[in-house]
Copies of this chain bind each other. A is one copy, B any other.
Amino acid sequence: MATGVFDIIHLGHLHYLEESKRLGDELVVVVATDETVRKRKHEPITPQKMGCELVASLKPVDKALLGKEGGDMFEIVREIRPDIITIGYDQPFEPEQLERELEKRGLKVKVVRLPHLDHDLDGTRKIITKIIEFHTIEKKLKAVERR
């Protein structure tokens, strides 16, 4: 099981999913809901349904589904019952701590952090970050104008 926002698909995502797939037989990807994206990062650029369809169309991915709205993050793990959960190099989880939290809930899952593979991608990531910032600012501006 891999997780992420996947708002604009870039090579960093693809490499994370390829590495995740290599660790098992079937790769299920949980795509963050718009609600979660808003809470944690920024205004979503593409609606959740679209992100999910795009992720499902990537070769390493066997299945993509949306995270649960509002509920706790362990609910979807209970549903998928993965053997392994992969964490991207920039995701804010500690593998060992997450394993312990899962075990407390009766979920025996190996959590693996994947290394940062693509040193040449930082440029793209910066561009994407800028794009996202721009989009968020624009939304805020519109909200202010509407007042």
Contacts and interface: CB of A to CB of B under 8 A. Distances in A.
Q: How large is the interface on A (under 10, 10 to 19, 20 to 34, 35 or more residues)?
A: 20 to 34
Interface stretch (A8-16, A27-35, A107-115): A8-16
- Copies of this chain, count: 2
Interface of A: 8-11, 14, 18, 45-47, 50, 53-54, 57-60, 121, 124, 127, 130-131, 134-135, 138
Given A57-B59, A58-B57, A59-B59, A45 B127 contact: yes
A124 B46 contact: yes
A124 B49 CA distance: 12
Nearest to A59: B57
A14 B60 CA distance: 16
